[in-house]
Amino acid sequence: MALNNIGGSLNPSKTLTQKFSWINQSDPSIFSSSFCSINVGKFKKELPSLAISASTMSSNEHNRPLSLEALTNNKRRDEVMNAIKSSLTNCLSETHLDSTIPALKSKTRGKVRDIYDCGDYLVLVTTDRQSAFDRILASIPFKGQVLNETSLWWFNKTQHIVPNAVVATPDKNVTIAKKCSVFPVEFVVRGYLTGSTDTSLWTVYRNGVRNYCCNVLPDGMVKNQKLSANILTPTTKAADHDVPVTPDEIVRRGLMTQAEYDDASEKALRLFEYGQNVAMEHGLILVDTKYEFGKAPDGTILLIDEVHTPDSSRYWIAHSYQERFWNGLEPENVDKEFLRLWFKDHCNPYEDKVLPEAPDELVSELAWRYIFLFETITKSTFEITATKEEEQIHDRITRNVSVALSALM
């Protein structure tokens, strides 16, 4: 695939027919389909002011209108692309800190994060693995750093809504967090009728569902339409995939108490509204996202995992949304949706045992989009990690985490 042809495939102009502990120990029991009808200073043990390694952009860059042109054709893109392409073979796909750092007792491998138990703390390493359809699709240069630093920025900005579990950030790919009891529920918040996966709101709506997780949806809506109000569509785990679950089921199955669910759901909706406002100020629409929460030993509900990252969230460019919607065109997106669509076009990502390898051009473009989104939201310049020539990423992380744990313990 030629690079100059990627723009169209990343934001397809498909015409629509308009009708007007941190380790998640999820309950594996079978999902019931019933629905209801209701319309770091120096590794301080206290929560530090989280530092992001990025420099501030100029005021001219702040005021520049956000458009797809800014995403696909600018000098910054060329500069970053050179670093991305030179790093395609040096991604952080796997970690094994439990064999290099004696203090780490065990490892749990998530889709993107490797989680290490360290007594009162968890060491979370955000890798460059790219997941979708409950599978690993590729490794994306700098992705782990982008996700880690994006989350840290949002953790900082949302402490007035909910406290979080962050203790220290010893490496660009690593967060050390307080250990807490994780609720086996993902709080998915949606503002638009969209998506391409089997559990997306548009997919279930297109299949005739009008009552989804206790949210009644009217007939006659079309893909990418704004909902009349933001909604919660929680999910939990069944085997190896996410399944929707109603609030009543969450309480009945003992996943959370009613008080815990009410508290977490209120916080999730407030976080999403705040994220939407910040995104809009920066020329973006925060379309949907997911949050995870844990419970500290003193009963405090904590925000964990990640916040408003391009992995957990869908972002569209705001200024072109309305016109493209009325013309039946897909929104200009700045997330991983185009990679999902590429795999759906080239295989059955849910059933095929072996998936095709994503082209380098798509991998590089996704890496750039993640960095572009970080810079757009934080209004800062992403710092390309300079690892010593003789030192691999894993060695750098081992060194930094070892120093941090020595200070904490």
Q: What is the pLDDT of residues 65-123, one digit of tens each?
A: 576 666 666 788 988 999 999 999 889 999 999 999 999 989 999 889 999 999 999 99
Give the model's pLDDT for residue 42: 34
Q: Does pLDDT of 209 surpass 50?
A: yes
φ and ψ at residue 112, rounded to 5 degrees: -120, -35
Give the model's pLDDT for residue 136: 83
For the segment 362-383, the average pLDDT, to the nearest whole number, is: 93
Q: What is the model's pTM? A: 0.82
Give the model's pLDDT for residue 64: 55
For the segment 161-189, the average pLDDT, to the nearest whole number, is: 96
φ and ψ at residue 216, rounded to 5 degrees: -85, 125
Distances (CA, A) of 236 to 28, 29, 44, 261: 9, 10, 34, 13
For the segment 332-349, the average pLDDT, to the nearest whole number, is: 84
Exposure letters 69-106 (e unless 16+ CB within 10 A, then b): ebbbeeebbeebbebbeebeeebbbebebbeebebbee
CA distance 260 to 215: 20
Average pLDDT over the chain reads: 84
Give the model's pLDDT for residue 53: 45
> Between residues 48 and 374, which one has the greater pLDDT?
374
> Between residues 70 and 359, which one has the greater pLDDT?
359
Q: Does pLDDT of 380 surpass 70?
A: yes
Coil, helix or strand at residue 196: coil
Residue 111: closest CA among 379, 292, 299, 244 = 292
Q: What is the pLDDT of residues 239-249, one digit of tens each?
A: 667 899 999 99
Give the model's pLDDT for residue 40: 34
For the segment 371-398, the average pLDDT, to the nearest whole number, is: 83
Give the pair of three-digit tokens for residue 48: 């530090």
Find out whether 236 and 255 touch, Cβ atoms under 8 Å: yes
